Amino acid sequence: MKLVAAVKLLPTADQAMCLRATLARCNEAATWLAAAGHAADTRRQYDMHKMAYAEMRTRFGLAAQMAVRTIAKVADAFKVNHTVAPVFRPDAAQPYDERILRFVQDGAAVSLWTLEGRMVLPIVIGEHQKRLIVFRKGEVDLCLVRGKWFLAATCDVPETEAFQAEDWLGVDLGIVTLAADSDGRSYSGADVERVRSRLTSRKADLQRRGTKGAKRRLCKLAGLEARFRKHTNHVISKVIVQTAERTGRGIALEELKHIRGRVTARRSQRSRLHSWSFGQLCFFVRYKAKRAGVPVVFVDPRYTSQACGACGLIDRRNRPNQATFKCIGCGHEAPADTNAARNIRQRALRATGEVMRPCVLAA
Ligand SMILES: [Zn+2]
């Protein structure tokens, strides 16, 4: 499985200037080569290399491997669109290969080729990224993201073979909570809700103003919200997968394509539904599960919200309101999301031919 590990660089101010100049030079060379290749109808890596390698090195002062990587970058851009010569931003990411990038000082720093020769840069790398980076394969991109320097390394992480699950952790991706599981745990958190409503009201504010400055701030806010959402989804998916792994269970999810259609949200809830990315959360659960060898099944989502997790009775009236489930047959009562998650678990047991076991129903 291909994953990207991010390594943060900690350059001094002088080093950062040199990195910026290096990136700019590589991209200047790339733009020049793209124009030359386009004009000469030469867009394949091999052909561009023959045509321009020597000139790239003398004209732009690139090291041999940097010239090679830059030619490859331009060839890749032509593969996406060969009808125009791409123009590279001065701070566009630049691929490096292992020969011009080395981890040194026991992995506490990297040695990187720059216009001023080799430069040793201290790095920060989290535990998770450290485990990933062992599997890095091929090139590493030097990127400047919002004023910070990163190396993005593609890693080919081996998958753990999935175990045979005899029981499932049912997970409902909901509206009231972001996710709830069949153990009765809900994943939402007041802070998620607080941040989200704060962002929403600030957005409305800026939209009303409609000035140029307000628009710029709106853009920034959108980025902030997306990063917050991604982080939250990472945290939730991690806990879900760890819970399943620790208890030797698989994970049962609803088939995603039905989720948006299923929910009849009131106007006030619609923004919450569409602003939160179910797709991303689902994707994170799936790939983290795959890495950990936790099996994942998808079940038919119909009536999971209206069926009773205790007696199985399906009735619209089992839902007196959005947040509550109360069975009109047996009187069983539970938070609506938890009840749905239990139904998802039951369906997974049925679908995989396991013996039905009643959930331990929390009072
Ligand atoms: Zn019931």
Mean pLDDT, residues 304-313: 88
Nearest C-alpha neighbor of 166 from the set 27, 355, 333 = 355
Give me the pLDDT at residue 93, please.
Answer: 94
Residue 172 catalytic?
yes
Ligand 1 mean position to 315 CA, how many Å?
10
pLDDT at 111 over 50: yes
Ligand 1 mean position to 306 CA, how many Å?
10
Provide Rg for the chain, Cα atoms.
26
Give me the pLDDT at residue 176, please.
Answer: 62
139, 167, 183, 254: which is the annotated catalytic residue? Answer: 254
Residue 354 catalytic?
no
pLDDT at 305 over 60: yes
The label of the residue with tokens 């990163």 reads: 150
Ligand 1 mean position to 58 CA, how many Å?
79
Ligand 1 mean position to 180 CA, how many Å?
19
139, 172, 181, 225: which is the annotated catalytic residue? Answer: 172
139, 181, 225, 337: which is the annotated catalytic residue? Answer: 337
Ligand 1 mean position to 362 CA, how many Å?
14
pLDDT at 334 over 80: yes
Q: Are 169 and 251 in contact (CB under 8 A)?
A: yes
Give me the pLDDT at residue 70, please.
Answer: 95
pLDDT at 58 over 70: yes
Residue 337 catalytic?
yes
Condensed to tens digits (0 to 9), the pLDDT of residues 144-157 reads: 988 999 999 888 88
Condensed to tens digits (0 to 9), the pLDDT of residues 192-219 reads: 777 778 888 888 888 888 888 888 888 8
From CA 128, how far away is CA 5, in angstroms rounded?
Answer: 9
Give me the pLDDT at residue 9, please.
Answer: 94
Nearest C-alpha neighbor of 337 from the set 171, 167, 168 = 171
Nearest C-alpha neighbor of 178 from the set 189, 167, 169, 162 = 189
Ligand 1 mean position to 232 CA, how many Å?
34
Structure tokens at 346: 């039951």
Ligand 1 mean position to 317 CA, how many Å?
12
Mean pLDDT, the chain, integer: 85
Q: Are 343 and 357 in contact (CB under 8 A)?
A: no
